[in-house]
Amino acid sequence: MRKLAAGNWKMNGLGESLSEIRALAEAHPAPACDVLICPPSTLLARLSDAAGDAIATGAQDCHANETGAHTGDISAEMVADAGGTYVIVGHSERRTDHGETDDTVNAKARAAWRAGLSAIVCVGETLAQREAGEALSVVGAQVAGSVPDGARAANTVVAYEPVWAIGTGKVPTLEEIAEVHDDIRARLKARFGAEADGMRLLYGGSVKPGNAAEIFGTSNVDGALVGGASLKAEDFGGIIAALA
């Protein structure tokens, strides 16, 4: 399957940041993997225009409803209208800061599909859960609850992001990453059969150009969800090159 390098800009980026996208597109006109940038929603339309054909764009969240009285939210249809083709749902920062549950995330993933987008469903354990030996059970329960019935390889990506590795510079061992990714694949196969073979499983949490190649060489890792290192074309370009 074609791997995916997905960048999550979080609440970073102004109009001037479009120069990073132009630089990325220029440096990687025909990348060997799929490349995606999820900027803040204020930049999505402009970035979609600037990104060119080789870089897909998406949002960092969407509301489950199509329209309505939800001040401050955007719908999956609005993401598509702005040129996006993906939406991240259930990022740990949304789960923590906005109290999103597996049910919320599940509804948002279905909203993404309704609008013709691919959903990147995020899961991951806290440090306390890992130290208690609960990583597999916590992540397994999140996958079960957050990935909707009917998921297909073409519209669903699962991102394993240990909460303690996001933005901290700490990364699990390759064995730990493989253990979780193998377990997620097995759970998806048990539920979705052969369709699960084509679902991309991303690792996320302090991926940098320097550690990307070994992480991408790990069992059942089909790409990365990248925060900090996606903001600069040079850093993200190094990660894209490692995926080739």
Active site residues: 91, 161
Least distance to ligand PEP, CB of residue 12, Å: 10
Q: Who contacts 238 (Cβ-Cβ below 8 Å, separation ≥6)?
A: 208, 209, 210, 212, 229
Q: Between residues 205 and 223, which has the closer beta carbon with respect to ligand PEP?
A: 205
CB-nearer residue toward ligand PEP: 37 or 77 = 37
Which residue's Cβ has the minimum distance to ligand PEP?
A: 227
* SS3 sequence of the chain: CCCEEEEECCCCCCHHHHHHHHHHHHHCCCCCCEEEEECCHHHHHHHHHHHCCCEEEEECCCECCCCCCCCCCCEHHHHHHCCCCEEEECCHHHHHHCCCCHHHHHHHHHHHHHCCCEEEEEECCCHHHHHCCCHHHHHHHHHHHHCCCCCCCCCEEEEECCHHHCCCCCCCCHHHHHHHHHHHHHHHHHHHHHHHHHCEEEEECCCCHHHHHHHHCCCCCCEEEECHHHCCHHHHHHHHHHHC
Query: Which C-beta is closer to ligand PEP: that of 192 or that of 230?
Result: 230
Among 201, 207, 221, 243, binds ligand PEP (CB under 6 A): 207
Please give the Cα distance from 190 to 22 (Å, whole number): 42
Q: Toward ligand PEP, which CB reaches closer, 104 or 206?
A: 206
Query: Any contact of residue 163 with ligand PEP (CB under 6 A)?
Result: no
By CB under 6 A, name the one of 226, 239, 240, 242 that touches ligand PEP.
Answer: 226
Scan residues 120-159 and list those touching ligand PEP (CB under 6 A): none
User: Site size for ligand PEP, by CB under 6 A?
Assistant: 13
Is the CB of 37 or the CB of 225 nearer to ligand PEP? 225
Dig out the tokens for 70 from the structure.
């939800």
Q: Is-contact 183 143, C-beta < 8 A?
A: no
> Among 56-64, 72-80, 199-207, 209-217, which window interacts with ligand PEP (CB under 6 A)?
199-207
Binding-site member from 13, 31, 124, 205 for ligand PEP (CB under 6 A)? 205
Among 68, 116, 150, 167, binds ligand PEP (CB under 6 A): 167
Decide: is 161 part of the binding site for ligand PEP (CB under 6 A).
yes
User: Minimal distance in Å, beta carbon 222 to ligand PEP?
Assistant: 15
Under rule CB under 6 A, residue 166 binds ligand PEP = yes
- Which residues in this chain contact ligand PEP in the complex, by CB under 6 A? 8, 161, 166-167, 204-207, 225-229
